[in-house]
Amino acid sequence: MADQFRSTEALTDALADASFDRPPALVSNAHVTGLGVARALDAHGVPVIALDRAGDGVGEAVGADDGSGSVRHDGLAPPSDAVDFAGAVTYPLDDLDGFREDVEAVVDAAGTEAVAFGCMDEWALAYAEADPDGVRLPFSGSDTLDDVLNKSELYATCEALGVPYPETYRLTETAAAATREPDATVDEAADALGFPLVVKPELKRDFEEAFGTNVIEVADRGEFEDVAAAASDEGIAVMAQKRVDIATGRDHSLASYVPPSGTGDALAVVGNAAVRYPRQFGTSCLVETADEPAIEERALAVLDDAGYHGISESEFVYDADREEFLLLDVNTRPWKWISMPVAAGANLPMAAYAAVTDADYESEGVEPTRWVYLRDYLSLLAGDDAFWDRLSAADWRRLVSGAFEREGDLTTGAYRPTDPGPAAKLFETEFVDREYYCSC
């Protein structure tokens, strides 16, 4: 495992003394999603270098080097036995050129080309846009990524393909940053959609940096006007969307890897986010494989139309009023429960790695599997709201004993007795006086 999270200089010094028999994977960021990717690759002997920004992840851009070469980082991936080296690089949203220079220095020190895995939008887009020398990308270029991630483009594709999506209006007030002609003013959108409604950006990354979230629910016209005005001031194009009467527990996503040869050769698993924390609009904490052919068909049709290849998650919610699944979003990268399809038999990171290296990978088939993120799931059980435990007594015995790693159909997001570092790090950040890092 990586014995410390190093500064860029200390990381390149350490890599200069290492040798690799195959291209290492550069995994960014270095948290729960990065941990899942690292474990998936390590299972096939792929060396992993975890790269992230220094600091505690909740606002600090730079960690302090104490003279040992270590900098502060609260992410869960570096303590994992699946991570060989871990260190800081310039955060791409702060300085894309600096990010490129740091990554190229890492690759040069390693003495071999590397394969990039961006585990949040800004990292995936940064690898594509910066295009560092010596880095192989197992996913489409930045133009294709932008087309998929831009919700105006995405929903236009849905309209053309007959894929249901929520009723949505682009706003005139933020037209300066829009890629298409806007649909409505704030007043027109409010009259058409009613309240409450949700405001979303066409592209998430700048909106998240400005507002700390990728969706804002507004209860009345005044709140709506304030959010639209703030987005306009930031130069961010946003849209108003009807608040969907979501059937709790029926969210589904297609987890897939599409190779350059196209969707006909896709490796895919449908997952049902059976439990979220918080319940209605939180992140997934219990996900199960599901048999929903329509989800797979619609998601692959959208990816095929965009010409996208790489790992992705296509998110659908079930609209109780319309009685159908609606496509909300496509994440062109790994995501929080990436280890579920891996455990099910579809190792998406390894398939992506093999496509750009000499490695071989072929899935032997997909089996029913469940994934749980215990930190959030236990918080839900301990909360004031009534919640019926979805895990059995046998599940809990396997979890406590560690037998779940050898038998049964359950896997986890961080806790694994054979790789205890990440869970120990989570306890460390949970019970000290520091804000908990995002679980993505």
- Rounded Cα gap, residues 6 and 14, in angstroms: 9
In this predicted model, what pLDDT tens digit does every residue of 178-188 receive, in sequence order? 445 457 999 99
Q: pTM higher than 0.95 for the full model?
A: no
Are residues 366 and 313 in contact, defined by beta-carbon separation less than 8 angstroms? no
Contact 340, 269 (CB under 8 A): yes
The angle that helices 204-211 and 221-233 make with each other, rounded to 10 degrees, is 110
Of 43, 42, 53, 37, which is closest to residue 5 (Cα–Cα)? 53
* Domains of the chain, each with CATH number or no CATH: 5-139 (3.40.50), 167-242 (3.30.1490.20), 251-332+337-372+374-412 (3.30.470.20)
Residue 379: CB partners within 8 Å, gap ≥ 6? Answer: 277
Q: Which residue is associated with the tokens 């851009």? A: 61
Residue environment code for 211-229, b if the CB has 16+ CB neighbours within 10 A, otherwise e: beeebbebeeeebbeebbe
**Which pLDDT value is given to residue 430?**
77
Q: One digit per residue, pLDDT tens: the chain, 440 residues? A: 788 999 999 999 999 999 999 999 999 999 999 999 999 999 999 999 999 999 744 334 344 555 678 998 989 999 999 999 999 999 999 999 999 999 999 999 999 999 999 999 999 999 999 999 999 999 999 999 988 999 989 999 999 999 999 999 999 877 544 445 457 999 999 999 999 999 999 988 788 878 988 899 999 999 999 999 999 999 999 999 999 988 889 999 999 999 999 999 999 999 999 999 988 778 999 999 999 999 999 999 999 999 999 999 999 999 999 999 999 999 999 999 999 999 999 999 999 999 999 999 999 999 999 999 999 999 999 987 889 999 999 999 999 999 999 999 999 999 999 999 999 999 888 776 555 555 57
Q: Determine contact, residues 6/86, Cβ cutoff 8 Å.
A: yes
Contacts of 198 (CB under 8 A, 6+ apart): 215, 216, 217, 218, 240, 241, 242, 243
